[in-house]
Amino acid sequence: MFSCVRKVPHATATSAIAAAFVLGVGFCAFSAHAADSVEVSISIKDHKFDPSQVKVAAGTPVKLTVSNLDATAEEFESRALRVEKIVAGKSSAVIRLNPLAKGSYPFVGEYHEQTAVGVVIAE
Amino acid sequence: MLAALIIVFREVLEAGLIVGVVLAASRGVAGRGRAVALGVLAGVAGSIIVAAFATQISSAFDGRGLELFTAAVLLLAVVMLTWHVVWMADHARALTARLRELSDSVEAGAQSVIVLGIATATAVMREGSEVVLFLSSIMLQNVDTAAGVALGSAGGLALGAAVSAVIYFGLTAIPLRRVFAVTGLLVTLVAGGLASEAIHQLSNAGLIAPALDATLWNTSWLLSDDSLLGRGLRVLLGYRDRPTALEAIAYVMTIGGILLLSSQHLAAGRTATANTSA
């Protein structure tokens, strides 16, 4: 029984290696395309996006800054863009989009889905 | 009240499923109840701290702070769950014997119990910080009375805990001979799902090359990530309706890695036992 317990540090080392491996893959996949991304800003006021329609060029990475002018937090959510990000009240958050195929990608403010609706149009 | 109920239920369920599975996988380990309780408390404290510094965390690293932080928390959880599965694989036989004799639980040593606590804390902290931010936001808006928010949150908490408890008791009803095989596999799948979620966070931070970030398939028509079942299966099995290439790789590699580690560990254990008895 005791010998089993003593083996745990070995397991730690191996799982740490496994984790490092996973991390490694993650970081190997890093890309330097951030430099040529297009920057777009939108704001949230009274639980509405302004502008609610964001036009971007297809095939270009986008750095979308969402400024929340309301005092309340909002969650920028888009199934189509695969993004879910909380924007605290009176603050802003950056959302990074990989190059998009042509099309429209709706998004909502999850905490105020009735009013906070918008769309990214890649063309 | 309804908004608070829904949000709290959803987040509690996501954290609760992980805690339920890990708890069921630790049957017979002494001190697991205390470790999980401390983990929940630490997770709640962590949630409040994260929510309080949400703006600062979010704006760090050129707006990538929150994603990097979440990915780090997720990877920590993956390491903890990996350790847990490997350790349990090693001890399943001893635990089964003890449970069958209905004798005392196995003294697991401080390390494995700490692993359990940390895994719980990471799950609670990740979902909890969203709850704290959301609730503080509702309170600011004055659309709901404090009593309404409190009632909704309590209801959500109770419902989420109830569903998690159903999962836990469902798992403990598995015949003793099989229980550790089933729960070990389930914890492995949970770990795979968390690893792919970590990659998703890095993708949202714009750190994954587009080629690896391409969507492999879209099964949202069949089972959406938004649906309750979709969310549940996402936590338990790592289901995603639109996985990217790297998310799938991370999922497969984590599961493969854990299976490999536990089988190696078991084999090493057997050789050691054989040598001692010879």
Alpha-carbon distance B263 to nearest alpha carbon in chain A (angstroms): 12
pLDDT (tens digit per residue) in A51-99:
999 999 998 999 999 999 998 888 999 988 989 888 888 889 999 998 8
Residue B116: both structure tokens together: 């359990």
Q: Are residues A3 and A61 in the same domain?
A: no
Is A117 in a helix, a strand, or coil?
A: strand
CA angle A101, B62, B215 (to 5 degrees): 25
pLDDT digits (tens, 9 = 90+) for A16-64: 555 555 555 545 444 444 446 889 999 999 999 999 999 999 989 999 9
Q: Same domain for A112 and A81?
A: yes
Tokens, residue A66: 């969402």
Block residue for tokens 């490694």: A24
Which pLDDT value is given to residue A70? 92
Say if residue A26 is in the same domain as residue A43.
Answer: no
Model pLDDT for residues B40-51, shown as the tens digit of each residue: 999 999 999 998
Residues A45 and A102 occupy one common structural domain? yes
The contacts of residue B227 (CB under 8 Å, 6+ apart) are none
Residue of A28, A34, A91 lying closest to B59 (CA atoms)? A91
**A64, A98: one domain:** yes
The amino acid at residue B35 is A
Regarding whether A60 and A40 lie in a shared domain, the answer is yes
Q: How many CB pairs under 8 A join A and B?
A: 162
Nearest CA in chain A to B265: A11
Residues A9 and A45 in one domain: no
Which residue in chain A has the smallest CA separation from B242? Answer: A82
Residue-wise pLDDT for B140-176, tens only, equals: 776 667 788 889 999 999 999 999 999 999 998 988 8
- pLDDT average, residue stretch B29-49: 92
A41 and A24, same domain (yes or no): no
Identity (one letter) of the amino acid at A25?
V
Instruction: Give B-chain residues touching A111 at CB under 8 angstroms.
Output: 3, 134, 137
**In 3D, which of B273, B256, B276, B277 has the Cα closest to residue B93?**
B273
Among A10, A26, A72, select the one facing B137 at the smallest CB separation. A72
* Inter-chain touch A88–B133, beta carbons under 8 Å: yes
**HEC string of chain B?**
CHHHHHHHHHHHHHHHHHHHHHHHCCCCECCHHHHHHHHHHHHHHHHHHHHHCHHHHHHHHHHCHHHHHHHHHHHHHHHHHHHHHHHHHHHHHHHHHHHHCCCCCECCCHHHHHHHHHHHHHHHHHHHHHHHHHHHHHHHHCCCCHHHHHHHHHHHHHHHHHHHHHHHHHHHCCCHHHHHHHHHHHHHHHHHHHHHHHHHHHHHCCCCCCCCCCECCCCCCCCCCCCHHHHHHHHHHCCCCCCEHHHHHHHHHHHHHHHHHHHHHHHHHHHHHHHHHC
> B246: burial class by Cβ within 10 Å (0-12, 13-18, 19+)?
buried
Q: What crossing angle do the helices spanning B65-100 and B245-277 adopt, rounded to 10°? A: 30
If asked whether residues A73 and A103 sit together in one domain, one would say yes
Contact B64 A3 (CB under 8 A): no
Q: Specify whether A18 is located in the same domain as A78.
A: no
Mean pLDDT over each residue of chain B, to the nearest integer: 87
Domain, as residue range, for A16: 1-30
Per-residue pLDDT tens over the stretch B102-136: 655 666 666 778 888 999 999 999 999 988 888 88
Examine the domain organization and report whether A75 and A103 are in the same domain. yes
Q: Do A85 and B66 touch (CB under 8 A)?
A: yes
B166 to chain A, closest Cα gap in Å: 29
Chain B residues lying within 8 Å of A37, measured CB to CB:
206
**pLDDT at residue A2, rounded to an integer:** 38
CATH number, position A51: 2.60.40.420
Q: Are residues A46 and A97 in the same domain?
A: yes
Residue closest to A70 by CA, chosen among A43, A45, A42: A45
Cβ distance A72 to B137 under 8 Å?
yes
- Whether residues A82 and B249 touch (CB distance < 8 A) is answered with no
pTM: 0.82
Q: What is the pLDDT at residue A7?
A: 43
Contact B86 A31 (CB under 8 A): no
Asked if B90 and A26 come within 8 Å (Cβ–Cβ), the reply is no
The answer to whether ipTM exceeds 0.85 is no
Count of domains forming chain A: 2
Q: How far apart are CA B13 and CA A90, in angstroms?
A: 29
Task: Find all residues with CB under 8 Å of A44, minimum gap 6, and list them.
Answer: A50, A66, A67, A68, A69, A70, A74, A87, A109, A116
